[in-house]
Amino acid sequence: MKFSAILHRIGLFTCVLLIISCFLPWMHYADATITTEAQRTFTGFSTYQNQYGKPGKLLSLIAIIVFVFMLLPKIWAKRANLFITALGVGYSIKTYVLFTSCYNAYCPEKKAGIYIMLLSTILLLLAAAFPDLKLEKEKKV
């Protein structure tokens, strides 16, 4: 099996993994001003009073678009996929820095979800950089 075919399958699996990671716990803040324990654990879709937004929405949208474009055997889809995954990596790095930063002398405890999210976007970029595409030879006239 070719390297690009293996990366193609890893990319499809990673799209699903990115969506799942948005539902997993990302951070746990031991802030005494947050009243309930459930509100102290942040995911990609829920933060305390929505202060950090919902980055899981955009990351899930990116994963769905990348999944569809990976299945299309067109060169424009592969090029668009590379651009979209590069945006996804940038956004995931920004999200990682935002969520893991300390505030008011409270440093969060990082959970597995944030690492899975960051790793999966990097794997998506790698899979998009080496697409599994068979090009037809040009016919000579």
- Domain extent listing, the chain: 3-129
* Overall average pLDDT of the 78-83 stretch: 94
What pLDDT band is residue 53 in, cutting at 50, 70 and 90? confident
Q: Is 90 exceeded by the pLDDT of residue 123?
A: yes
Q: Is 90 exceeded by the pLDDT of residue 57?
A: yes
Q: Report the C-alpha gap between 25 and 74 in whole angstroms.
A: 36
Q: Which residues contact 136 (CB under 8 A, 6 or more apart)?
A: none
* Overall average pLDDT of the 60-73 stretch: 94
Q: Report the C-alpha gap between 25 and 112 in whole angstroms.
A: 7
What pLDDT band is residue 38 in, cutting at 50, 70 and 90? low
Q: Report the C-alpha gap between 40 and 55 in whole angstroms.
A: 17
Q: Is 90 exceeded by the pLDDT of residue 34?
A: no
Q: Is 80 exceeded by the pLDDT of residue 22?
A: yes
Alpha-carbon distances of 98 from 34, 48, 53, 84, 95, rounded to whole Å: 18, 14, 11, 21, 5
Taken in order 11, 85, 112, 34, is the CA torsion positive or negative? Answer: negative
Structure tokens at 123: 């794997």
107 Ramachandran zone, left/alpha/beta (phi>0; psi -120 to 50): beta
